[in-house]
Structure 1
Amino acid sequence: MDPTLDSKLVSEPVEAEKGKKRVQSPPSSPSYGLVSFKELPEYMKDNEFILNYYRANWPLKEALFSIFRWHNETLNVWTHLLGFVLFLGLTMANLIEVPQVSDLIAFLTSSFPISGDSNVSQDPLLGTTTNLVDLKQITASEPDVSPVTRWPFYVFLAGSMFCLLSSSICHLFSCHSHHLNLSLLRLDYAGITTMIITSFFPPIYYIFQCDPQWHFIYLGGITVLGLFTIVTLLSPALSTKKFRAFRAMLFSSMGLFGIIPGVHAMIVNWSNPRRNITLAYESAMAIFYLTGTLFYVSRVPERFKPGWFDLTGHSHQIFHVLVVMGALAHYGASLVFLDWRDHHGC
C-alpha cells in the first residue's frame, strides 16, 4: 500500500474526531472569581490591610448580582442600603397623614351633647346639675400657633437618603472599570457632603426661626463650604488613598462648622425646657460621626491583624454603621425641633 495514502487514512479519522469534539463542546464562559490585594489593578489598591476577597474588572451585570455574593464589599453595600430603606420608610411615614390621638379625642367628644355656649347639664339619675368645662375658655387661653413648615426637615431626609444610596452604588459597582470607579467615588464624596450640608437645615431653621437673618449666615456658610469641598474632591488625584486623611479633614471641618451656630443656639435658647434633650441627640450625632471618621482614617482593627477582617468587622463597615446611627440621632433631634416649633411660635 502507498504509505502516503496509508497516512491519510490514519490521520483523517483522528482529525474528524477532533473536529467532532470541537463542535460538541460548549463555549467556555468566563469566571469572575475573587482576587487578592496583590492581584488588584493599581487604581483599586486602597486598603493594604484587607488582603483578599476583592472583585476586579467585573461586568456591570456581574457586579449588580454580586450584591448577593460574599466579598469584602458586601457589608459596605448592605449597611448603607438598609440605611437608605430605613430613611425612605421614615420619610414616607412623615409624609402620610396619620390621625393623631388629639384628633381622635376631638372626634369622640364631638358626639356628646356639649356645646361651647352651654356649660351646665342636668344629670337625669341624680337630679343634680354639673358644671362642665367651657371649651371656649380653654381654646382662648391657648396660643394660636399654626404648624411650622416641614421643608427643612425633608431637605435633611433627602440628603441622608442620597448619601446612603450613592454610597451603596459606589461600593457595588466600583469594581467595573477605572473610569467608573473614579466617577462613583466622586458621587460618594458628593453624597457625604450633601448629607452634612442638609443636616444643618432643621436645627438652623427652627432654632433661629424668629431671627431669619441667621438662616442666611449659617446655612449660606455651610453650603458654600460644602460646594468648595465637592469641587475640590472632583480632582481624580484627591480620590486616591494618599489623600484619605485630607478628605477626612474636609468632612470634619464641615461638621466642626456646626460648633459656631451650636453655641449661638444654646445662648438663644438656654431657657428652653427641651434644651437638654436636643443637646443629647446632637451630641450623640457628633460622637457617632467623629468616631466613624477616626475608624475611617486609622483603619482599625484590620491594621493590627491584616487578613482577619477582610469580610466582616473592618474599619469601613464600622464607619458605615456609625454614619447611620449619627443620622438617626439627628433625626430624633429634628423631631424635637419640629414639635417645639409646632407649639411655640415667635
Structure 2
Amino acid sequence: MRLTNRMLTVYPRLGGPLYKVDQVPEEFHESFIVKGYRNPKSSAIQCILSVFDANNETLNFWTHFLPCWYFLWVLKGLSEEIDFWNDPYSWPLLTYMLASCAFPMASAIAHVFNTMSDKARHVCFFVDYAALSVFTFGVAVSYRAYVFPDALRQTVSVNVFVIGAVVNAMLCTVVSCHSRFMTPSLYPKLLRISAFAAPYFYNCSPVIYRLLYGTAEELAMESQYYHFRQFIFIATSAFLYVSHIPERFYPGWFDIVGHSHQLFHVFTILALLDQMRATLMDQEHRRPYIDSIRDYPSAAMCLGLTSLVVLHNALIVLYFSFKLDNSQSKTSTSQTMLSEPAKLVQTKEEKSL
C-alpha cells in the first residue's frame, strides 16, 4: 500500500516533522524520492529518535544496523570455539570478522546523523566510505589466508596480493570522498561504485580463478556455491544503486519502503552473508593443508597493515572534512533554507496531496 503524506502525519513524530523534496536544500535531495525527508538541521537526539519514525532513511538504517549485530553474534560464537589470542591461523579470520561488523555499523550511523547539517552529511558518508574501504582489506586478508587456490600459492601473486589490497583500499577512500565534491549527477555515483568495484574484483580474483580453473578437489568444495552466488547478489546491488529502480518509474510510491537504496543494502548484506559463509567453510575445511605449510598472513600483516589502512583513512576523512569548509563557503547557496518557521510548515493543500 502506498504511503501518503496524510498517512505519514497521523502519529506524532519522535524525530520531528517530515518535508517534501522542494522544502529541503538540494544537497539533501535523493533521486526520485519525493517526500519523507527529515529536517536538514536536525539535532543529534532528533536523528536518533527518527529511526523509530517512518521516513525515507528509516530502513536504510535498520538494513545495516541489524546485520551488524548479527555479525557480532557470529563473531561471539566463533570466539567460543576458536582461540583468537593464541591461534595464528585464526588472525586473518578475526580481521575479516571485525571489518564485517564495522562497515554496516558505520553505514547505519551515517544514515542516522547525515541530516544534522550540510557538513555533517558529507562527513558521515566519508566515514561510511572509509569503513567500507577497511572491509575490502579485511576480505583480502581472509582470502589470502583461506581462499587462494593451490595453483596460485606458489606464484608471485600470492606475495603481492595483500599489498595490492592495501593500495586499493587507500585509493578507493580517496576517490569516493572526492566524488562528493562533484556536481550531483550520474557520474559521481558511477565513480563511487567503480572505486569500490575495483578492490572487490581484485579481492575476488582468486575466487574467480578457483571457480574457473580450480582442481577437482577445489571444485567439489561446498563453499564454491556460496562463492559463486555472492556475485549474483553484488551485481544486483550495484544495479539497484545506479539505476534507482523502482522509484525511477514511480516517484513518490517508494519513498518510505522499497526504494533502491534500501534494496541495495539488502542485496549487499546477502552477498556478505554468502561471502562469510564461504570463507568460514574454507577456513575450516582447508586448515589441515594450509596449517601444514603455514601459508597465511602473519600477525604483523593482519594487525600492522589493517592499522595502516585505518590510520590512512582517518587522515583522508579529516582532510576532506577540512576541505568542506572552503568548498561550502564558495558553492553552498542553501545554508539558510528552512531557517524561517514559515518555510518549515506545510500548507493544508500540501498535506492533502
What TM-score, normalized by structure 2, do the two folds share? 0.70
User: Given the superposition, is the C-alpha separation of residues 267 and 290 from structure 1 closer, same or farther in structure 2, using an over 3 Å criterion?
Assistant: closer
Which residue identity lines up with residue 140 of structure 2 in the other structure?
A: F
Greater C-alpha radius of gyration: 1
Residues 25-44 of structure 1 aligned to structure 2 (within 5 Å): 32-44=16-28
- Taking the aligned partners of 2:267 and 2:229, their CA distance within structure 1 comes to 10
- Taking the aligned partners of 1:223 and 1:239, their CA distance within structure 2 comes to 29
- Taking the aligned partners of 1:94 and 1:239, their CA distance within structure 2 comes to 45
Residues 57-76 of structure 1 aligned to structure 2 (within 5 Å): 57-76=41-60
- Taking the aligned partners of 1:266 and 1:295, their CA distance within structure 2 comes to 26
CA deviations on 1:33-74 (whole Å, 9 max, x unpaired) are 100011111211232x11001102111111111111111111
Query: 2:199: which partner in 1?
Result: 254
Larger fraction in helix: 2
- Taking the aligned partners of 1:336 and 1:320, their CA distance within structure 2 comes to 24
Which residue identity lines up with residue 16 of structure 2 in the other structure?
A: Y
Matched position secondary structure for 2:134: helix
2:79 to 92, 95, 116: 95
The answer to whether 1:53 aligns with 2:36 is yes
Residues 199-238 of structure 1 aligned to structure 2 (within 5 Å): 199-208=139-148, 211=154, 214-235=157-178, 236-238=180-182
User: Given the superposition, is the C-alpha separation of residues 58 and 259 from structure 1 closer, same or farther in structure 2, using an over 3 Å criterion?
Assistant: closer
After TM superposition, give the deviation of residue 189 of structure 1 in Å: 1.4
User: Given the superposition, is the C-alpha separation of residues 331 and 188 from structure 1 closer, same or farther in structure 2, using an over 3 Å criterion?
Assistant: same
User: Given the superposition, is the C-alpha separation of residues 227 and 343 from structure 1 closer, same or farther in structure 2, using an over 3 Å criterion?
Assistant: same
- Runs of 5+ in structure 1 lacking a partner? 1-30, 99-146
Matched position secondary structure for 2:81: coil
Which residue identity lines up with residue 55 of structure 1 in the other structure?
A: R
After TM superposition, give the deviation of residue 212 of structure 1 in Å: 8.6
* Number of equivalenced pairs: 269
- Taking the aligned partners of 1:213 and 1:150, their CA distance within structure 2 comes to 24
CA deviations on 1:124-159 (whole Å, 9 max, x unpaired) are xxxxxxxxxxxxxxxxxxxxxxx8711111111111
- Taking the aligned partners of 1:240 and 1:92, their CA distance within structure 2 comes to 41
The answer to whether 1:168 aligns with 2:103 is no
User: Given the superposition, is the C-alpha separation of residues 238 and 254 from structure 1 closer, same or farther in structure 2, using an over 3 Å criterion?
Assistant: farther
- Taking the aligned partners of 1:329 and 1:76, their CA distance within structure 2 comes to 21
Which residue identity lines up with residue 91 of structure 1 in the other structure?
A: L
Residues 258-297 of structure 1 aligned to structure 2 (within 5 Å): 258=203, 260-265=205-210, 269-272=214-217, 275-297=220-242
The answer to whether 1:321 aligns with 2:263 is no
After TM superposition, give the deviation of residue 276 of structure 1 in Å: 4.4
After TM superposition, give the deviation of residue 197 of structure 1 in Å: 2.5
Matched position secondary structure for 1:301: coil
The answer to whether 1:337 aligns with 2:320 is no
Residues 95-244 of structure 1 aligned to structure 2 (within 5 Å): 95-97=79-81, 149-208=89-148, 211=154, 214-235=157-178, 236-238=180-182, 240-242=184-186, 243-244=188-189
Contact residue 186 and residue 239 of structure 1 kept, 8 A = no
User: Given the superposition, is the C-alpha separation of residues 157 and 87 from structure 1 closer, same or farther in structure 2, using an over 3 Å criterion?
Assistant: same
After TM superposition, give the deviation of residue 191 of structure 1 in Å: 2.1
- Taking the aligned partners of 2:96 and 2:20, their CA distance within structure 1 comes to 39
After TM superposition, give the deviation of residue 202 of structure 1 in Å: 1.8
Matched position secondary structure for 2:42: coil
User: Given the superposition, is the C-alpha separation of residues 171 and 259 from structure 1 closer, same or farther in structure 2, using an over 3 Å criterion?
Assistant: closer
- Taking the aligned partners of 2:166 and 2:183, their CA distance within structure 1 comes to 22
After TM superposition, give the deviation of residue 268 of structure 1 in Å: 7.6
- Taking the aligned partners of 2:280 and 2:124, their CA distance within structure 1 comes to 32
Query: 1:138: which partner in 2?
Result: none
Contact residue 55 and residue 256 of structure 2 kept, 8 A = yes
Which residue identity lines up with residue 91 of structure 2 in the other structure?
A: W
Contact residue 76 and residue 317 of structure 1 kept, 8 A = yes
After TM superposition, give the deviation of residue 259 of structure 1 in Å: 5.0
Contact residue 182 and residue 239 of structure 1 kept, 8 A = no
Shifted more, 335-344 versus 297-306: the winner is: 335-344
Shifted more, 335-344 versus 285-294: the winner is: 335-344
- Taking the aligned partners of 1:162 and 1:283, their CA distance within structure 2 comes to 24
Matched position secondary structure for 1:283: helix
User: Given the superposition, is the C-alpha separation of residues 291 and 85 from structure 1 closer, same or farther in structure 2, using an over 3 Å criterion?
Assistant: same
After TM superposition, give the deviation of residue 342 of structure 1 in Å: 2.6
Contact residue 299 and residue 315 of structure 1 kept, 8 A = yes
